[in-house]
Amino acid sequence: MPLDSRPDTKRSFAVVGTRPLRPDGIDKVTGRAKFGADAVAPGMLVGRILRSPHAHARIKKIDTSKAEKLAGVKAIVTRADFPDHTDGDAALYDVLYNIMAREKALYEGHAVAAVAAVDARTAREALKLIKVEYEILPHVTDVDEAMKPGAPVLHATVFTDGVEPKPKKPSNIVRRYEFGHGDVEAGFKKADIVVARTFKTEATHQGYIEPHACLANAGPDGQAELWVCTQGHFMVRDTCARLLGMDISKLRVTASEIGGGFGGKTTVFIEPVALALSRKANRPVKVVMTREEVFKASGPTASTSVDVKIGVTKDGRITAADATLRYQGGAFAGSPVEFGAMSAFACYDLENVRAIGYDVVTNRPKQAAYRAPGAPMAAFAVESVVEELAKKLGLAPIDFRIKNAAREGTHASYGPTYGPIGLLPTLEKAKQHPHFKAPLGPNQGRGMACGFWFNFGGQTCVSLNLNNDGTAALSVGTPDIGGSRASMCLMAAEELGIPYDKVRAVVADTSSLGYNDVTDGSRTTFATGMATILAARDAIKKLTARAAQIWGIPAEAVTWEKGHAKPAGANAGNFPPMSLAEIVAQAGATGGPIAGHHEYSADGAGVSFATHICDAEVDPETGFTRIVRYTVLQDAGKAVHPSYVEGQFQGGAVQGIGWALNEEYIYGKDGRLQNAGFLDYRIPVCSDLPMIDTVILEIPNPGHPYGVRGVGETSIVPPLAAIANAVSAASGVRLTSLPMSPPKILAALEAKAG
Per CB under 8 A, which of residues 307..366 are in contact with other proteins?
Answer: 336, 338-339, 342, 354, 356
Using alpha carbons only, give the angle 434, 437, 439 rounded to the nearest 5 degrees.
110
Tell me which of 414, 500, 659, 665 binds other proteins, using CB under 8 A. 414
**Pair type for strands 608-618 and 318-328:** unpaired
DSSP state of 105: E
Nearer to other proteins, 39 or 594 (CB): 39
Helix (H) or strand (E) holding 656: helix 642-661
**Binding status of residue 369 toward other proteins by CB under 8 A:** yes
Choosing from 183, 603, 621, 750, the residue that interacts with other proteins (CB under 8 A) is 603
Please, are residues 236 and 226 in contact by the beta-carbon 8 Å criterion? yes
643 binds other proteins per the rule CB under 8 A: yes
624 binds other proteins (CB under 8 A): no
Report the site for other proteins in 554-593 (rule: CB under 8 A). Answer: none
Region of 151-159, 254-262, 493-501, 554-562 interacting with other proteins (CB under 8 A) = 254-262
* Residue 346 CB, nearest approach to other proteins (Å): 12
Nearer to other proteins, 35 or 575 (CB): 35
Residue 706 φ/ψ, nearest 5 degrees: -105, -5
Least distance from other proteins to the Cβ atom of residue 723, Å: 14
Do strands 558-561 and 564-567 pair parallel, antiparallel, or not at all (unpaired)? antiparallel
Contact positions with other proteins (CB under 8 A) in 371-400: 371-373
Stretch that binds other proteins, among 108-116, 416-424, 496-504, 660-668 (CB under 8 A): 416-424
Interface stretch with other proteins, choices 109-117, 271-279, 425-433, 644-652 (CB under 8 A): 644-652
Among 7, 47, 259, 272, binds other proteins (CB under 8 A): 259
Q: Indicate the residue among 301 and 362 with the shorter CB distance to other proteins.
A: 301
Under 8 Å between Cβ of 536 and 464: yes
Contact (CB, 8 A) for 446 and 614: yes
Quote the least distance from Cβ 696 to other proteins, whole Å.
Answer: 14
Closest approach of other proteins to the CB of residue 86, in Å? 14
Asked if 460 and 599 count as a contact pair (C-beta separation under 8 A), the reply is: yes
* Of positions 258, 461, 547, 661, contacts other proteins by CB under 8 A: 258
Q: Does 148 bind other proteins (CB under 8 A)?
A: no
Could you say whether residue 124 binds other proteins (CB under 8 A)? no
Nearer to other proteins, 121 or 189 (CB): 121
Residue 604 touches other proteins, criterion: CB under 8 A: yes
Least Å distance, CB 368 to other proteins, is 8
Which of these ranges, 139-147, 412-420, 490-498, 553-561, lies near other proteins under the rule CB under 8 A?
Answer: 412-420
Nearer to other proteins, 21 or 555 (CB): 21
Q: C-alpha distances in angstroms, 631 versus 1, 19, 366, 615, 673?
A: 35, 21, 33, 9, 34
CA 203, CA 214: separation in Å to the nearest integer? 26
Q: Of these, 5, 15, 24, 565, which contacts other proteins (CB under 8 A)?
A: 24
Residue by residue, what is the 3-state secondary structure of 337-406? Answer: HHHHHHHCCCCECCCCEEEEEEEECCCCCCCCCCCCCCHHHHHHHHHHHHHHHHHHHCCCHHHHHHHHEC
Cα 42 vs. chain centroid, distance in angstroms? 35
Q: Give residue 555's identity as a one-letter amino acid code.
A: A
Closer to other proteins by Cβ: residue 268 or 733: 268
Q: Scanning residues 688 to 747, which ones bind other proteins (CB under 8 A)? A: 689, 691-692, 702-703, 710, 712-713
The residue range among 17-25, 302-310, 389-397, 443-451 that interacts with other proteins, by the rule CB under 8 A, is 17-25
Q: Is 31 near other proteins (CB under 8 A)?
A: yes
From CA 116, how far away is CA 276, in angstroms rounded? 10
List Cβ neighbours of 541 (8 Å cut-off, separation of 6 or more): none
Residue 34 touching other proteins (CB under 8 A): yes
Give the total of residues touching other proteins (CB under 8 A).
109
Q: Residue 375 contacts by C-beta under 8 Å, 6 or more apart in sequence?
A: 336, 339, 340, 343, 451, 452, 453, 713, 716, 717
Residues 72-91, one symbol each (x = binds other proteins by CB under 8 A, - = not), give: -------------------x
Quick one: which of 25, 470, 620, 742 contacts other proteins (CB under 8 A)?
25
SS3 state of residue 288: strand
- Smallest gap, in angstroms, from Cβ of residue 388 to other proteins? 26
Stretch that binds other proteins, among 35-43, 237-245, 500-508, 610-618 (CB under 8 A): 35-43
Contacts to other proteins from residues 477-496, by CB under 8 A = 481-483
Using rule CB under 8 A, residue 227 touches other proteins = no
Q: Does 260 bind other proteins (CB under 8 A)?
A: yes
Binding positions for other proteins, 166-225, rule CB under 8 A: 175-181, 206-211
H/E stretch holding 616 reads strand 608-618
Span of 396-404, 409-417, 497-505, 742-750 interacting with other proteins by CB under 8 A: 409-417
**Which of 450/518 has CB closer to other proteins?**
518
Q: Which residues contact 50 (CB under 8 A, 6 or more apart)?
A: 111, 112, 113, 114, 115, 127, 130, 132
Nearer to other proteins, 92 or 550 (CB): 92
232 near other proteins, rule: CB under 8 A = no
Residue 361 or 594 with smaller CB distance to other proteins: 361
**Cα–Cα distance measured from residue 743 to residue 740, given in angstroms and rounded to the nearest whole number:** 8
Q: What angle do CA 202, 208, 211 make, to 5 degrees?
A: 110
Nearest distance from C-beta of residue 373 to other proteins, angstroms: 5
Residue selected from 7, 109, 529, 647 as contacting other proteins according to rule CB under 8 A: 647
Q: Side chain identity at 355, as an amino acid letter?
A: A
Residues 6+ apart with CB under 8 A from 434: none
> What single letter denotes the amino acid at residue 150?
G
Q: Which of 81, 646, 663, 664 binds other proteins (CB under 8 A)?
A: 646
Interacting positions 669-698 with other proteins (CB under 8 A)? 677-679, 683-687, 689, 691-692
Strand partners, 253: 226
Q: One symbol per residue from 509 to 528: x for binding other proteins (CB under 8 A), - otherwise; what is it? A: -----------xxxx-----
Beta carbon of residue 336, minimum distance to other proteins (angstroms, whole number)? 7
Q: Are 663 and 716 in contact (CB under 8 A)?
A: no
Instruction: Report in angstroms the alpha-carbon separations of 494 from 454, 463, 709.
Output: 27, 16, 18
First to last CA, the chain: 62
Alpha carbon distance 421, 606 (integer Å): 8
- Helices then strands, counting H and E runs in the chain, come out as 21, 26
Decide if 539 contacts 596 (C-beta within 8 A).
yes
Check residue 33 for interaction with other proteins (CB under 8 A).
yes
Q: Candidates 121, 189, 314, 541: give the one binding other proteins (CB under 8 A).
A: 121
Structural contact between residues 740 and 719, judged by C-beta atoms closer than 8 angstroms:
no
CA angle 224, 24, 300 (to 5 degrees): 65
- Contact between 230 and other proteins by CB under 8 A: the answer reads no
Note whether 244 and 77 are within 8 A (CB).
Answer: no
Q: Is the dihedral of CA 716, 718, 719, 724 positive or negative?
A: positive
Identified binder of other proteins from the candidate list 257, 271, 494, 635, rule CB under 8 A: 257
Near other proteins in 434-463, by CB under 8 A:
453-459
620 binds other proteins (CB under 8 A): no
